[in-house]
Structure 1
Amino acid sequence: MTEAERIITTPDGETTGGAAQSAPGDPGPSATASGAGTADLAAKRRRRVLVLTGVAAFAYLLDLLSKIWVVTSLENHAPVSVFGHYLRLDAIRNAGAAFGLGQGMTIVFTLIAAGVIVVIARLSRRLYSVPWAIALGLLLGGAFGNLTDRVFRAPGGFQGRVVDFIAPAHFAVFNLADSAITCGGVLIVLLSFRGIDPDGTRHRD
C-alpha cells in the first residue's frame, strides 16, 4: 500500500499507528484530565472550608448569645437548678483557661487562643475531610468565643474574664465555648486514631 492509500484509508484524527494527534497548541487528553482533577480538588476544598466556617460561626454565635443571656439575666442572681443539685446554671467570671484552670495566666491563654486560630487557618489550605472540617470548626468557634471575652470584657487589655455558667456537681464551671473546644479535640483524637488526615488520606503507623 502506498503512502497516499494509507492516508486516505486512515480515519480522521488518527495516524497509521492508531494514536490520536493533537492540533498545535491544543492540550492533550492527559493535560485536560489533570486540569479537571485540579479543579475538582479545589472545589472540594472550598466546600470543606465552607463546612469549617459554618460550624465555627454556629458555635461562636451560640456561645455569644448564651453569654449575653447569662450576663443580663443570671449574673448577680441565685444559681438556677436544672437537674436538682446535679446541674446548675451559675454565672462566674473566669480569669483562667477552660474549666477554671490556670488562674492568673489570662494573657498567656489569650495568646494561645490566637495561635490556635492561626494554625487552623493554615490547616484549612489542605483541608479535604468533612470530619476534620467539623472538628476544626468547633475548635475555631470555641477559641473565638473565649478570645472575644478576653479582649472585650473587664478588666480589658487582653486580660478579660471569661463568662462561665454551666455548673455540674463536683466539676468545674464552664461555658459553651469550652464544650465546643472539648468536642473538637475529642473528634481530632478519634480521627487520628483512625488514621484520617486533614487532607482526607489515611495513614497506618
Structure 2
Amino acid sequence: MRRVQERRPVVSPLSREANAPGRRGRPALIGVIAAAVVAVDQVTKSLAERHLAAGQPRHVVGSLYLDLTFNSGAAFSLGRGVTPVVETIVVVLVVGLLFFGRRAARTATIPVALGIALLLGGAAGNLVDRVFRHNGGAVVDFIDILRIGHRDLWPVFNVADAAIVVGALTLVLAYSRKDQAGRDEERADRA
C-alpha cells in the first residue's frame, strides 16, 4: 500500500513574516505616528506665530535660537518664488508616500514603518501650512539651531522638517542594514 504524502501549502518566509501578529498593526502604527507628527508640528508652529516676532530671534541656550521665518520655497529655502510648483510637488509626494506606506506597511519592520511615518507626517505637516495657514503658501519655520552672533550656520526649520530628515535617515539605515544582512546570508549559503 502506498503512503499518501500530506500536502501543505508552501509558505514563503516573506509571507510568513508579513502575516506575523506584530506586522498586521504596522499600517495603524504608521498612521498614528504620522498624525502625531502633524499635531506636534502644527501646535509648535501656532505657538511660534503667537509668541515670536519675525526678525527678532530669541536666545534659548548655546547656539539655539527661536526665530520666526516664513519659507515659501522647499527645504532649505530652495525654490522660492515658485510656490505653486512646490505645493504641487508636495501634494504628489504626500500621495506617493501614502501609496508607498500602505504597500510597504504589509512587510515593514519597525524602523521602516517609523521612517515612513516620519516622512509622511513631516510632508503632511508642511502641506497643511501651505494650504491652510494664511502665509501666501509659505511654511512657518522657527528653530534656529546653529546661530553664532548674527550668522546662521544652518537653515531655520520646523518640527515637520526635522521629522522628514530623521525619517529619511531611518529608512536609509534600515534598508542598508537589510541589504547587508542579505549579503551576509548569501555568503553563508555559499560557504
Partners of 2:18 and 2:156 in 1: CA distance: 45
Instruction: Report whether the alignment pairs 1:114 with 2:97.
Output: no
Among candidates 98, 108, 113, match of residue 133 of structure 1: 113
Instruction: Report whether the alignment pairs 1:83 with 2:61.
Output: yes
Shift of 1:135: 0.2
Partners of 1:186 and 1:40 in 2: CA distance: 23
2:61 maps to a residue whose letter is F
Residue of structure 2 in register with 1:176 after alignment: 159
Partners of 1:50 and 1:133 in 2: CA distance: 10
Larger gyration radius, structure 1 or structure 2: 1
Unpaired runs of 5+ residues, structure 1, are 1-15, 21-27, 197-201
2:69 maps to a residue whose letter is I
Q: Deviations over 1:158-191 (max 9, x none)?
A: xx11000001212111101000001111112212
| Identity fraction in percent | 37
1:72 maps to a residue whose letter is R
Q: Does structure 1 retain, via aligned residues, the 8 Å contact 2:55–2:69?
A: no
Which secondary structure state, in structure 1, belongs to the residue aligned with residue 143 of structure 2? strand
1:47 maps to a residue whose letter is G
Q: Deviations over 1:54-109 (max 9, x none)?
A: 2111111110110111111223583221114x110011111111232221122222
Q: Does structure 2 retain, via aligned residues, the 8 Å contact 1:166–1:173?
A: yes
Change (3 A) 1:203 1:109: farther
TM (norm. structure 2) is 0.77
Residue of structure 2 in register with 1:30 after alignment: 8
How many residues end up aligned between the 2 structures?
Answer: 172
Q: Does structure 1 retain, via aligned residues, the 8 Å contact 2:66–2:142?
A: yes
Partners of 1:91 and 1:99 in 2: CA distance: 15
Residue of structure 2 in register with 1:8 after alignment: none
Q: Deviations over 1:21-60 (max 9, x none)?
A: xxxxxxx8625x86xx679728655311122112111111
Partners of 2:98 and 2:20 in 1: CA distance: 16
Residue of structure 2 in register with 1:19 after alignment: 4
Q: Does structure 2 retain, via aligned residues, the 8 Å contact 1:138–1:181?
A: yes
Shift of 1:195: 3.3
Q: Does structure 2 retain, via aligned residues, the 8 Å contact 1:64–1:145?
A: yes
Residue of structure 2 in register with 1:70 after alignment: 48
Residue of structure 2 in register with 1:152 after alignment: 132
Q: Does structure 2 retain, via aligned residues, the 8 Å contact 1:63–1:177?
A: yes
Partners of 2:178 and 2:17 in 1: CA distance: 26
Unpaired runs of 5+ residues, structure 2, are 148-152, 187-191
Residue of structure 2 in register with 1:10 after alignment: none
Which secondary structure state, in structure 2, belongs to the residue aligned with residue 192 of structure 1? helix
1:193 maps to a residue whose letter is S
1:149 maps to a residue whose letter is D
Q: Does structure 1 retain, via aligned residues, the 8 Å contact 2:115–2:166?
A: yes
